[in-house]
Amino acid sequence: MERFEEVVAEVRKRVEPDDDERERLQQVARSLAERAENAIADLPVEADVIQVGSTARGTWTSGDRDIDLFVRFPPELDRETLESYGLKIGHKVLPEGHEEFAEHPYVKGEFEGFDVDLVPCYHVESATEIQSAVDRTPFHTQYLEARLDDELADEVLLFKQFLKGIGAYGSDLRTEGFSGYLAELLVLEYGGFRALLEAVADWHPPVRFDPEDHGTETFSDPLVVIDPTDPERNVAAVLSPENFARLQHYARDLLSEPRESIFVPDVPEPLTPNEVSEFVADRGTTPVAIRFDAPDVVEDQLYPQLQKSLSGVADALSRRGFEMLRADLFADETAVLFFELSVPERPAIERHDGPPVHVRAHATGFYEKYEADDSYGPFIDGDRYAVERKREFTTAVEFLESDSIFDAALGVHVEKTMRRGYEVLSGDGIEELAKEFGSELARYFAPKP
């Protein structure tokens, strides 16, 4: 057997659930559906229960313990009633469950060893009539169920495991990768895992698919897959350019050097504080960080908030002359915005260009302002006035510790948290981060595609 096929065969063994596992899951799913139907019977409403997601479509990988059940209510039902019924049913089905919030509040809980989401939605005629995003999910399941036979479902498993291995699986806003639905549509498009990889290796963005040939919109994303159940939607809308490139990189990598390790997520050994210092010394850079309590919001809010704040502070630092090699964010109990600066200090002065001298009123105003203060100049450079004026902050730490940091574009929850207090770390203080974020720092200092 060819090396690629050997590797894939090994992976297949690991990810394909065996008959026992499949049977066990179906049993639990059935019993959950019954409990839900019983709960519906107590309510003055017609509704049905539908299992959705990869466990419904046989595209789950061995060990997955997620069961998603949707309760579909008539579209005439007002939203408030739908939510209240949904929670009632949820709590009956999952007595130990707790409420979470996506498009609607819903109940999440454990049941016989499985992680169960019980989500209310509207039972609409077609995906174009949906009243909320979750209403679309049952249509996805129907579309794929009709098209994925067992063999294709197995190919999907391989691709999903591959995406997990390279860290690009998940359409959450932390990962910005490939959703299960997107992965399945791509396998369907190319008819198998290997054919997909071979095509991906040569993709030139923008890459566009429209399986039902009904798309009505244009998108600027690198990958566009028009939702077969909704002509206005790009299923790959959250995919980042990095994950597009990552898929290409590892597709080529697996094809040229087939090996199982690519299918296994890489969890680097956490760095020790000492190792962090060694990396910093080797790189000759000046890392600084701000740390605060992670804002208490769901991950899909947290990461965009932190990302926005990271860019905002990075911009504010750059504008003040503190260029950086790279920046990153880490979040767990605390959240950290980490900036690896090129230099520890800036000069006491900075250049400031004025207007062209020939723009008389403006130029005279500039000249008079800076002639009167302790700047060097004004002098003339090219056709303009210029001065060298005192710099407000000569170190990044001074800026980060000052109130000016709140002029940076921060996520609203991040700003709120930071106003309650934050820490600025630099020098030896950076080592400390290894205690909470050793793995993240290992990934940062040994970056891979």
Using CB under 8 A as the binding rule, whether residue 388 contacts a second copy is answered as yes
Tell me how far apart the alpha carbons of residues 414 and 14 are, in angstroms, rounded to a whole number.
41
Using CB under 8 A as the binding rule, whether residue 406 contacts a second copy is answered as no
**Residue span binding a second copy (CB under 8 A) among the ranges 108-116, 132-140, 357-365, 410-418:** 357-365
Using CB under 8 A as the binding rule, whether residue 364 contacts a second copy is answered as yes
**Binding-site residue set for Mg(2+):** 66, 68, 117
Residue 263's CB: how many other CB atoms inside 10 A? 22
For residue 207, give both structure tokens.
């890459």
Nearer to a second copy, 49 or 396 (CB): 396
Using CB under 8 A as the binding rule, whether residue 242 contacts a second copy is answered as yes
Nearer to a second copy, 95 or 205 (CB): 205
Nearer to a second copy, 118 or 251 (CB): 251
Whether 222 and 244 have beta carbons less than 8 Å apart is answered as: yes
Tell me how far apart the alpha carbons of residues 153 and 238 are, in angstroms, rounded to a whole number.
24
**Binding-site residue set for ATP:** 54, 57, 140, 160, 169
Helix (H, G, I), strand (E, B) or coil at 89: helix
Q: How far is the CB of 184 from a second copy (least distance, A)?
A: 23
Using CB under 8 A as the binding rule, whether residue 34 contacts a second copy is answered as no
Applying CB under 8 A, among 105, 192, 211, 321 the residue interacting with a second copy is: 321
Using CB under 8 A as the binding rule, whether residue 244 contacts a second copy is answered as yes
Tell me how far apart the alpha carbons of residues 97 and 109 are, in angstroms, rounded to a whole number.
4
Tell me how far apart the alpha carbons of residues 438 and 446 are, in angstroms, rounded to a whole number.
12
Nearer to a second copy, 326 or 419 (CB): 326
Nearer to a second copy, 265 or 449 (CB): 449
Tell me how far apart the alpha carbons of residues 112 and 103 are, in angstroms, rounded to a whole number.
26
**Binding-site residue set:** 54, 57, 66, 68, 117, 140, 160, 169
Helix (H, G, I), strand (E, B) or coil at 246: helix
Q: What residues form DSSP beta bridges with 198? A: none
Tell me how far apart the alpha carbons of residues 186 and 207 are, in angstroms, rounded to a whole number.
12
Whether 119 and 106 have beta carbons less than 8 Å apart is answered as: yes
How many residues touch a second copy (CB under 8 A)?
53
Question: Could you give the angle at which helices 3-15 and 193-200 cross, rounded to 10 degrees?
Answer: 120
Place of tokens 């900036």: 339
Applying CB under 8 A, among 267, 284, 373, 420 the residue interacting with a second copy is: 284
Using CB under 8 A as the binding rule, whether residue 325 contacts a second copy is answered as yes
Using CB under 8 A as the binding rule, whether residue 385 contacts a second copy is answered as yes
Using CB under 8 A as the binding rule, whether residue 248 contacts a second copy is answered as yes
Q: How far is the CB of 321 from a second copy (least distance, A)?
A: 8
Tell me how far apart the alpha carbons of residues 435 and 429 are, in angstroms, rounded to a whole number.
11
433, containing H or E segment: helix 433-445
Applying CB under 8 A, among 48, 345, 415, 436 the residue interacting with a second copy is: 345
Applying CB under 8 A, among 45, 199, 343, 424 the residue interacting with a second copy is: 343
Tell me how far apart the alpha carbons of residues 336 and 440 are, in angstroms, rounded to a whole number.
11
Residue 383, CA distances (Å) to 91, 354, 358, 371, 380 in order: 74, 10, 8, 18, 7
Q: Interaction with a second copy in 150-209: which residues (CB under 8 A)?
A: 201-205
One-letter-per-residue 3-state SS of 287-331: EEEEEEECCCCCHHHHHHHHHHHHHHHHHHHHHCCCCEEEEEEEE
Q: How far is the CB of 307 from a second copy (least distance, A)?
A: 14
Q: Interaction with a second copy in 62-81: which residues (CB under 8 A)?
A: none
Whether 135 and 143 have beta carbons less than 8 Å apart is answered as: no
Q: How far is the CB of 448 from a second copy (least distance, A)?
A: 6
Using CB under 8 A as the binding rule, whether residue 95 contacts a second copy is answered as no
Q: What are phi and psi of 43, to 5 degrees?
A: -110, 150
Using CB under 8 A as the binding rule, whether residue 12 contacts a second copy is answered as no
Applying CB under 8 A, among 30, 319, 360, 369 the residue interacting with a second copy is: 360
Residues 6+ apart with CB under 8 A from 395: 344, 345, 346
Using CB under 8 A as the binding rule, whether residue 448 contacts a second copy is answered as yes
Applying CB under 8 A, among 44, 113, 382, 421 the residue interacting with a second copy is: 382
Using CB under 8 A as the binding rule, whether residue 427 contacts a second copy is answered as no
**448 DSSP assignment:** -
Using CB under 8 A as the binding rule, whether residue 219 contacts a second copy is answered as no
Give the footprint of a second copy on this chain (CB under 8 A).
Answer: 201-205, 222, 241-242, 244-246, 248-249, 252, 282-286, 321, 325-326, 342-343, 345-349, 351, 356-358, 360, 364, 367, 376-385, 388, 394, 445-449
